[in-house]
Amino acid sequence: MERQSITARDAHTIELDILRLLQRVLVQDKQPEKVRAALEVSEEARNLESIRSIPAIAYALNDDVIDGRLTDDRIPELIDSDRVAIEDIKHFAEEEKTTFVYYSIVSEAEIIVWVIQPNGTINVEIIDLNPVAQSLESIASDTLRVVASYIDRGEEEVLLAEALRTNTPNFEPPTVDEADQNRQLQQLYQLLIAPIEDYLPIDSGSKVVFVPQKELLLVPFAALKTPSENYLIDGFSIRITPKLQYVLRDRPPLRRFPKEEDILIVGNPANPEVRFLQGAEQEARLISILTGSSPYTGNQATRDNVITGIEDAKVIHFATHGILDALPPSGDTLLLIHNRDGVAPDVREIASTAISPIQGDQISYSLWPDEDGMGRWHVIRTNGSLPGAVILSDGQLPSQELLNLRLEADLVVLSACNTARGFAGENALLGLPMALGLAGVPQVVVSLWDVPDIATQQLMFQFYLAMYEQGSNIDVEDALRTAMLKIKSQEKYQDPIYWAGFTVMDVSQ
């Protein structure tokens, strides 16, 4: 009989499968202690995925590692991922009057969803996907497609469709029938929200933090529609966090509205390879008036100007074109990095090996301790780069370059197309948000689709105006909700494509 070996990927998959099965067993009778234990198990599964992917990104895509400049205090010890204490989350929920909605996809036919209420109660429901004709991935992608489309109310309305902040050549604005859009948004509401709506707060504007995973990371929660034709944003202030751990960040939130040198603003770089964005330029200028700062627009939006100011800014704002594509793989790169206490890392690179049909095209990471326990070998395999970049006047600023920076920003706003998107993992999207988190940023505002230029300019001005009126201890998600409601109250901007494309996301690593 032929002996088959188990790969690192096989072992990782087995671990995740066991943890998913354990969650299902623990929640069956809904006993409080078991419900809590199942939630801890689910978070542990997300930690495992972080241990597998994030160190690989931090090492293998970091220029300092390749060049041998990295020192021990510069290396994030991401293999020792903090385990979140549920008591800390309950305390946060109480202090911040926040409700957490935590989804765990345990099989193709089942989602477990926990709701942590401000009073500390943890409720759980099991969503059965068997009656649904489509796969969850298909439903989520169809919803994203229809919500990112203009509603076709006749030829004249379609002709008024705005230019999008996309770099796709000959791009045709997407259109959808209004009834189809409503049906899709209500279907996903019924699937994800209706089973737990009795546990949600009743006061308008209450804070809800969604903790999705996999394909649910790209759900436009703000635009989901209730049976009474209300959007979810009408009732709640919404933000996203891929892991509970991310909300318990060491750095406090944005303490005050940014002024002058506190903010770096980039708008409508003059790049001959992309179309002119009038709204993006006006957006940058309006925000600069509110903040008393000088924006980089047109030919001034260069890499040198941006890099010079980006590391010290408390708020960073890009109003430009976004690029989703990653560099194509050309073969594997293996990095062997040896860390030993008190000794500079030893980096060895093995480049251009064949792409493994077993490993596929994903980043992977493993750890091998020295026999004496005083050192570690980090074995990292990657064959490309993180997806995502923003356009500047003389090139791009890609995810891979951002993660090499050490940023002091409390908030980064990526007012461009598709800046929330990337490779979907168990608990993260490998792209611009993750890169910024690795660079030290705790929170971002990012987009789920090709956003309209002029409507986005108005949305962003209202967003900053709401933060300006708050003055201090800025509530970013409340400010974004205020902006969304103001934009969608205008008849010409009532449809979700104009106001629902952005989300607040915690990205602390």
CB 391 within 8 A of CB 321: yes
Residue 85 lies in a domain: no
Longest Cα–Cα distance in the chain: 75
* Helical ranges in 210-267 per DSSP H: 232-235
Sign of CA dihedral 380, 387, 398, 245: negative
- Tell whether 368 and 495 lie within a shared domain: no
pLDDT value of position 360: 41
The conformation of residue 202, written as its DSSP 8-state character, comes to -
pLDDT at 456 over 90: yes
Give the highest mean pLDDT range of 132-141, 191-200, 268-277, 433-442. Answer: 191-200
Element (H, E) at 39: helix 32-60
- Collapsing DSSP to helix, strand or coil, 230 comes out as coil
- Collapsing DSSP to helix, strand or coil, 353 comes out as strand
- Collapsing DSSP to helix, strand or coil, 380 comes out as strand
Q: How confident is the model at residue 434 (pLDDT cuts 50, 70, 90)?
A: confident
pLDDT value of position 49: 72
Q: How many domains does the chain have?
A: 2
| Cα–Cα dist 189/379, whole Å | 42
Q: What pTM, to 2 d.p., does this model score?
A: 0.86
Pairing mode, strands 263-269 and 236-240: unpaired
- Tell whether 413 and 296 lie within a shared domain: yes
pLDDT value of position 76: 45
* Helical ranges in 61-130 per DSSP H: 63-66, 86-95
Structure tokens at 258: 């940014």
- Tell whether 362 and 422 lie within a shared domain: no
- Tell whether 368 and 485 lie within a shared domain: no
pLDDT at 213 over 70: yes
Give the mean pLDDT of 21-46.
91
Residue 346 lies in a domain: yes
pLDDT value of position 333: 60
| Cα–Cα dist 209/247, whole Å | 9
pLDDT value of position 326: 46
- Tell whether 315 and 345 lie within a shared domain: no
Find, among 19, 43, 24, the residue nearest to 34 by Cα: 24
pLDDT value of position 1: 44
- Tell whether 377 and 399 lie within a shared domain: no
- Tell whether 370 and 470 lie within a shared domain: no
> Which comes out higher in pLDDT, residue 108 or 133?
108
Give the mean pLDDT of 380-384.
56
CATH assignment at residue 447 = 3.40.50.1460
- Collapsing DSSP to helix, strand or coil, 195 comes out as helix
Domain membership of residue 502 as a residue range: 260-323+386-506
| Cα–Cα dist 34/491, whole Å | 49
- Tell whether 290 and 364 lie within a shared domain: no
pLDDT value of position 67: 55
322-364 per-position pLDDT tens digit: 887 644 444 556 666 666 666 666 666 665 444 443 344 455 5
Sign of CA dihedral 284, 416, 172, 217: negative
| Cα–Cα dist 124/138, whole Å | 25
Find, among 246, 32, 214, 69, the residue nearest to 141 by Cα: 214
Give the mean pLDDT of 381-386.
59
- Collapsing DSSP to helix, strand or coil, 313 comes out as coil
pLDDT at 458 over 70: yes
> Which comes out higher in pLDDT, residue 381 or 495?
495
Find, among 421, 369, 24, the residue nearest to 217 by Cα: 421
Compute the residue count for the chain: 509
Q: What is the DSSP string of 422-435?
A: EEE-SS-EEEHHHH
- Could you tell me which residues come within 8 angstroms of residue 315 by beta carbon, excluding any fewer than 6 positions away? 254, 258, 262, 263, 264, 409, 410, 411, 412, 413
- Tell whether 461 and 342 lie within a shared domain: no
> Which comes out higher in pLDDT, residue 170 or 395?
395
pLDDT at 478 over 90: yes
Residue 250 lies in a domain: no
Give the mean pLDDT of 92-106.
94
pLDDT at 168 over 80: no
Percent of the chain with pLDDT over 70: 73
Give the mean pLDDT of 49-59.
63
- Could you tell me which residues come within 8 angstroms of residue 97 by beta carbon, excluding any fewer than 6 positions away? 118, 206, 207
* Beta carbons within 10 angstroms of residue 190's beta carbon: 16
First to last CA, the chain: 46
> Which comes out higher in pLDDT, residue 85 or 291?
291
Residue 396 lies in a domain: yes
Phi, psi of 169 (to 5 degrees): -65, 145
- Collapsing DSSP to helix, strand or coil, 235 comes out as helix
- Tell whether 374 and 399 lie within a shared domain: no
- Collapsing DSSP to helix, strand or coil, 471 comes out as coil
Q: Which of 52-56, 293-297, 495-499, 502-506 has the lowest mean pLDDT?
A: 52-56
Q: How confident is the model at residue 249 (pLDDT cuts 50, 70, 90)?
A: confident
Residue 279 lies in a domain: yes
- Tell whether 410 and 363 lie within a shared domain: no
Sign of CA dihedral 221, 223, 229, 233: positive
Q: How confident is the model at residue 48 (pLDDT cuts 50, 70, 90)?
A: confident
Pairing mode, strands 395-398 and 389-392: antiparallel
Beta strands in 452-500 (DSSP E): none
> Which comes out higher in pLDDT, residue 65 or 79?
65
Structure tokens at 64: 């300092």
Give the mean pLDDT of 203-210.
95
**Mean of the per-residue pLDDT values for the chain?**
82
Give the mean pLDDT of 301-321.
94
Give the mean pLDDT of 460-480.
96
pLDDT at 198 over 80: yes
Give the mean pLDDT of 423-437.
77
Give the mean pLDDT of 59-63.
56
Domain boundary (343, 366, 382) is at 382
Which amino acid would we find at residue 110?
A: E
Q: How confident is the model at residue 79 (pLDDT cuts 50, 70, 90)?
A: very low
Residue 289 lies in a domain: yes
| Cα–Cα dist 184/119, whole Å | 33
Residue 264 lies in a domain: yes
* Beta carbons within 10 angstroms of residue 478's beta carbon: 18
- Tell whether 349 and 318 lie within a shared domain: no
Residue 130 lies in a domain: no
